[in-house]
Amino acid sequence: MMAGSPFPQASQPDAVAYFTKPDGKKIQAGDLLRNPAYAATVRKIAAEGPKALLEGSIAQDIVKRTTEGNLPGTMTLEDLKAYQPKMTEALCRPYRIYVVCTPPAPSGGPAVLEGLGLLENTDIAKYGPDKVQGWYLFSQASRLMYADRDRYFGDPDFVDVPVAGLLDPAYLKARAALINPDHAGAPPTAGNPKGAGLRGTDHTKEPGGTTHFVIVDADGNTVSMTTTVESIFGTGRMVDGFFLNNQLTDFSFSPTEKDGVAAANAVAPGKRPRSSMAPAIVLDRKGRLYAAVGSPGGNSILAYNLKTLVGVLDWKLPIQDAIALPNLLARGEPYWSETDKYAPGVVAGLAAKGVNLTSGGGAEGSGLHGVLMTEKGLTGGADPRREGVAKVP
């Protein structure tokens, strides 16, 4: 199972041991893998709450493992004990006749809201997924969204993230006006929204290793949740049945420019890294659930979620069809996409407008999950690119 993996974590001793049988043979697809150590961990957390993870034997195991071997860390028991999860209010903005809610910075939620705000200043809604112009507008709004997000997003407890400026209707209108309706130009630079300070260029790698799910219960309570250990198998190190994350890779690998100007996502003690995770819940104007979406995918999450929201809210597609739409990642110079999934003529039409799609791109693939309220009730969709499934009672 581990042979030929491009991820170095897969060759770490803990990961190799986890996927190896007592007789030395590797576990294969279809084999039963038991993890009693993890079962004991979740029972302990269920009984004791967060304290079970941040203090005591599990915390000791985490600190011990992170300070061993190559590239040892410096985490202490005091660091873990002092950690406090932070609850924040959802960030909600109107989009046409809907209200879209996401988590705030340092998540990617505000960027998706900016992408929608840019598209609201276009006529993308009049084009379906089989039209060149619809995908062209999507690609150009995506480039503007990523340019701003990459420059300005970080932990708002440490840097001023100009969310209000980025989502200001006047700013969105001015940025959308940069979209040439006929032909794509050079990649856009970050704008200058109100509240923006001087920020260095971002150099965050943001490897993928993420998962997502959407749940709606019988009472209508809705969860759209993205979670990650960062990269495949986190750091490759395990304690008590679970892999430890390598979330530090979500910080900029070059914290400052040559002139010393700091990146918004520069690493700092106690700072939360920027994330592309951007689960969204869509309400109608009466506050009732209309849709919920989300995806794994590293920095491509923003494009995956934005595409699905456009498919549902603008192109009025069933949730499953919106999820299955081609993924198009327009971040900077290249345009990565799934060139075999478009309607006839779209790829050539985009090329004629300066959007030359290239298959692949190295990004973590999408794993979109979503729900949509219809006249007949709740419907669900799961990404055909992964093993997800949608179940509606």
Q: Residue 323's closest CA among 377, 279, 384?
A: 384
Strand, helix or coil for residue 161: coil
Only one residue has tokens 């340092």, namely 106
Strand, helix or coil for residue 211: strand
Q: Is 379 a catalytic residue?
A: no
Strand, helix or coil for residue 260: coil
Query: Dihedral angle at the C-alpha atoms of 300, 303, 307, 313, nearest 10 degrees?
Result: 130
Q: Which of 41, 122, 210, 228 is catalytic?
A: 210
Only one residue has tokens 């979503």, namely 370
DSSP 314: I
Only one residue has tokens 């069933």, namely 318
Q: Widest CA span of the chain, in angstroms?
A: 66
DSSP 202: P
Strand, helix or coil for residue 370: strand
Q: Pull the structure tokens for residue 282.
A: 């869509």
DSSP 108: S
DSSP string computed for 146-204: HHHHHHH-S-TTTS---HHHHT-HHHHHHHHTTS-SS---SPPPP---TT----PPP-B
Distances (CA, A) of 215 to 281, 292, 358: 11, 9, 34
Quick one: angle between helices 301-309 and 132-152, nearest 10?
140
* 197 torsion bin: left (phi>0), alpha (psi -120 to 50), beta (else): beta
Distance (Å, rounded) from C-alpha 199 to C-alpha 202? 9
Distance (Å, rounded) from C-alpha 134 to C-alpha 123? 8
Residue 244 contacts by C-beta under 8 Å, 6 or more apart in sequence? 62, 65, 66, 229, 234, 235, 237, 238
List residues with catalytic annotation.
Answer: 210
